[in-house]
């Protein structure tokens, strides 16, 4: 195929279909008489066209035209307006799916609870018992377990005057069976002896 044939490559199909203008058709007909390659190509195109005509006609479905027109209309309505239209159409199915999801969740929670296990409701009376009122706090009637702590015993150092050292020492000697603290407390006055704290005596 020479350069002229490449120029007439698309013209061959139009020539077979009789779609060329008269002036173009006459010019190509002159070229076709002298070009073997274009003659072969035109012959193949005519054969294909003849075979296509011999094929049986396929009848489309009854709603083919309706579906085709609807698809064409949908392709034209591409944009925000079409999205809004589709969203409006999907509102009812969306609500239905949401309700179905809620029902399925409740059903799943119900069947997942083992038999005999029931959730115990928290009554307001039990909830109130866990909190102390202002009157009870002021009256000092509430004692929490974490608040019951042993008060550490305090250790006091008492300076005994020189004049009383001898009496204290004598009390310790007179009552050898008594403990040291008992001996010391026996030699102290009533105010110090009445105190339950531990004492250490320094001389």
The pLDDT of residue 184 is 45
Average pLDDT, the chain: 65
Q: Is 186 exposed, middle or buried (0-12, 13-18, 19+ CB in 10 A)?
A: middle
Is the pLDDT score of 124 beyond 70?
Answer: no
- Domain containing 181 equals 155-202
Between residues 144 and 84, the one the model is more confident about:
84
Residue environment code for 147-181, b if the CB has 16+ CB neighbours within 10 A, otherwise e: eeeeeeeeeeeeebeeeeeeebeebbeeeeeeeee
- Residue 73 inside a domain? The answer is no
- Residue 63 inside a domain? The answer is no
Percent of the chain with pLDDT over 90: 5
Q: What is the pLDDT of residues 44-59, one digit of tens each?
A: 999 998 888 888 877 8
Separation CA 15–CA 26 (nearest Å): 10
Q: Which residue has the tokens 């013209």?
A: 11
- Residue 99 inside a domain? The answer is no
Beta strands in 41-182 (DSSP E): 155-159
Residue 93: half-sphere exposure toward Cβ, Cα within 13 Å: 5
Is the pLDDT score of 32 beyond 50?
Answer: yes
- The total number of structural domains that make up the chain: 2
**Domain edge (last residue) among 17, 37, 54:** 54
Percent of the chain with pLDDT over 70: 41
- Residue 43 inside a domain? The answer is yes
What average pLDDT does the segment 90-105 reach? 68
- Residue 136 inside a domain? The answer is no
- Residue 31 inside a domain? The answer is yes
- Residue 186 inside a domain? The answer is yes
Q: What is the pLDDT of residues 126-153, one digit of tens each?
A: 445 544 555 555 555 444 444 444 555 5
- Residue 139 inside a domain? The answer is no
């Amino acid at each position: 195929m020479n350069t002229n044939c490449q120029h007439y490559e698309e013209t061959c199909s139009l020539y077979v279909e009789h779609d060329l203008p008269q002036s173009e058709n006459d010019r190509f007909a002159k070229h076709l008489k002298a070009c073997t390659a274009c003659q072969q190509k035109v012959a193949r195109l005519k054969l294909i066209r003849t075979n296509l005509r011999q094929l049986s006609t396929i009848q489309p479905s009854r709603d083919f035209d309706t579906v085709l027109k609807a698809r064409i209309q949908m392709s034209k309505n591409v944009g925000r307006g079409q999205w809004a239209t589709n969203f409006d159409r999907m509102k009812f199915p969306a609500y239905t799916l949401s309700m179905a999801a809620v029902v399925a969740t409740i059903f799943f929670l119900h069947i997942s609870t083992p038999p005999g296990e029931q959730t115990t409701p928290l009554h307001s009376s039990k909830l109130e018992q866990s909190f102390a009122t202002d009157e009870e706090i002021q009256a000092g009637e509430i004692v929490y377990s974490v608040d019951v702590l042993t008060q550490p015993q305090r250790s006091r150092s008492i300076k005994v005057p020189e004049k009383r050292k001898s009496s204290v020492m004598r009390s310790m000697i007179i009552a050898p069976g008594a403990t040291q603290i008992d001996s010391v407390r026996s030699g102290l006055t009533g105010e110090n002896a009445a105190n339950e704290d531990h004492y250490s005596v320094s001389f």
